[in-house]
Structure 1
């Protein structure tokens, strides 16, 4: 039955006076009508509802009779609102998945007191043409429900409005919460949730599952050659090919920038290997038709069997990553299935324990410096000291950097260590006026703006402090990140410090590399210095490196000098400076124990 809002309100007031149900009335006394006026016409409620795109209704649940406001048909996009004059009829136009939750919302659930009132707000999918039609709208309903003596709904009053645009945005936000925007497939969060579901509860009883990590090889090279937009196209197309190759109950998602995760169900025996190689073939055998032309691509695959080798999602992803690392180091195959190895597990546990110890040492101020002199070749006078990092263990023993820095880099702790080393060097620069110090930094420092800010803070205290600092970077790190390191070196020199290339001769630097890096010194690696008197070829090699650096106006330092004969041989090559135990070994410098706050990091052994 369709009524005007005036009639609907009047009926509600009548019901309220007679005690037969509630109304939309607030209970305030009605204004008295004055001659020539109509109190009920003061506000045209239906016009307001129409303007807001809302309608209203009253549902007598006991009689199953709905009274609608006059604009209901227009708002709900229904040709004849009389067709929905009962709650049952209206319910048949609510999406089947939403009908139950809607009724639960308006009735307040099963534990409400009889003759109480429920205020509710709910959203649901409404089907103007019924459940077999194609049209759909999203509605938001706000109202109140009066429960009868039996605790069941007796009278419902509410307003309804269309929220298609709002819901579309909400749905998109929900979608992006679990899906990747570029590929439209599951993102890492969504994929991990599916993986966890598979390995939890009753699903864990399913045997012969597998988790694969599929990585696009050389994506950085594709980005550099063709541009990031082409790289994105390759990623999206690889995802689609992988998805088309999977069975109905399997799924694929984007795990990281160049990695996809594939979850396989019911894949016994050699099935994992067969599927992995099929996926590799699908990507490899046909170039991708991009806007930049046809571009070939390949993938590497690491896999772990579930639940045989991983009982939870964290273990599964960690061990799939281990397998993927192995696959990428084997260009002849590019596939590896995780196999448990006691030796490897023991190494990972040791690495994780060492990472924990590094964090504790940082917090306990047990990272210290040992300084070793650097002398001139001719006068043998000390011109600087190299600061060598050491970790003081709880038992009092000292660990050299070579024992723990590879672990720090693997677990992402090197930036924290670099920051602490800069603090310690700053203390030395303040306490030992006029002395120069060399300090080694890790490869990750080139992208660490905080480290440069720390160096700037030294200059802010005393602009001469950075002038007494020589920053050492390894040759291999410089060549592997040439452009980034070149910018870093320029920034360091701009602040007044010098830069030395450490381990020169081991990373195959060319004349062009030395020229573009812009370093001030090169330190020739000790592996060539130690045998300079015993092996003629080492002597020739050192002289060549010295001449190469001299042609560019770069000073040279010979590392690892152990005796007078080596020192004299190096002096004959024209090398400018020398360093080694012959001139003095590293001596521990105790620090003040001041510095940054506590570091809290959880070490994840499964991703080691």
Structure 2
């Protein structure tokens, strides 16, 4: 395994030689750490042997990479970011990546003129770019070199396998053509109704999803036949099937240009078509209903047709969900069948009590701040050993004069879908910063929603509020979830880097529940991981949950991050988390969320055990959540 060392300081080369020499102490330490993190291993083989190649300037390193061929290629390159004179580490990394896209680059720096995201842009991909800070530990270099050389070896083996598979593709092409023909037939059957050959519900929902995202208004009509059950009962299902095929042909001929018709099941059809407005859409649906209201000759019998319809007109950029559009059309259809068969009804919100309630909540929430109906409660975050209160998480509560206590799980999503989330977020931040003036030294942790985090002036806005309050940035922790950063990872990384540079703390909430978690830890500047409550709940029942919790704790410690266990509700969980090495705890067993005055008392007392009366009073409070 060849490793390239690029550094202009001879002493650093000696350090690498010392770190990566095949010393027994290194092997034993590495094995002990692997056993601790992943369980005892049965592999008694020797640690990897590294062949070190040294370059004292960036261009010398580039020339060495260019000259390496075949088995002599480098698996890893450790690059000092500042190497005067000549090209610096960023340019060296860019040129090396251009020559060998497979080499793993480790940027080693004590101070850099470049942010990690700037280096990543020229020396990516990010999954082959890593960072180590000076001064480094022996174990850190050994672990990195071991992991990356083994990964490089595995990548080469995978490349060989891919090349072998590519050789077999030509032999499979004929079979692929045959499979493609069968797939087309199966796809048609999966997306079309077998009776009428019209698109089925699956195809309709897929198409509706595309119409919802488009920037043109459209209409959706839900239509079913009047007295169709009588046809089946009187003339039999064969006559009923023939009538359905006839009606489907009529609707297909009558649907406006650019529209579609689908059979959802039974005698129910759905129609999509572009429209300039509600009046034009009603006229089109009435025309289709009229075409269905005729006498049909079915197997020698004269049958009177008829249909009723519910209509929804959707304007662009309204953010509606396809399922909600169908639900509204169905409500309108029910209203049409109840009031007057053979008619079309346009959906309005009076047909849906749930929508009325949601609108009422949204309207009440817009006045809640001015009406003084909002308040913050605070849940302590304590150190695992002494139970010292180091911080409080600020949690919002709404006591509506009209509806009583409303759960944040109900009103926060409503606020998130509108601009109300910014007003609520500003209020929460202001209240939390005011509380910091009363506490002796604790910091406050405030949740920021994805929409707040994506605000164009997010960093400047937070900095301005903190400066105005006269609070040190280190006393504010910004809690975000992976949802807030996953949509635009590059922009999120830049935002978090600037927030961190300003001195604020950053916590990743609900860690372990997202599939991008490990990627986010490596890419983003974080101070704290918060283990999701679901894993803490399962520690005593499921071996898997316990293993996940222990792995997250070990990972956080290895990266120098605080780890907060949320949802701690029993003494057994406290002891298990202490043994595992979790740095901080939060949950009902220690204290429920408490009112501002009690939080100040607890902050001044500093320790949960020294404030048993306060904590006990909080457990009995009716305002907890």
Range of TM-score over shorter length: 0.3 to 0.5
Structure with the higher fraction of residues in helix conformation? 2
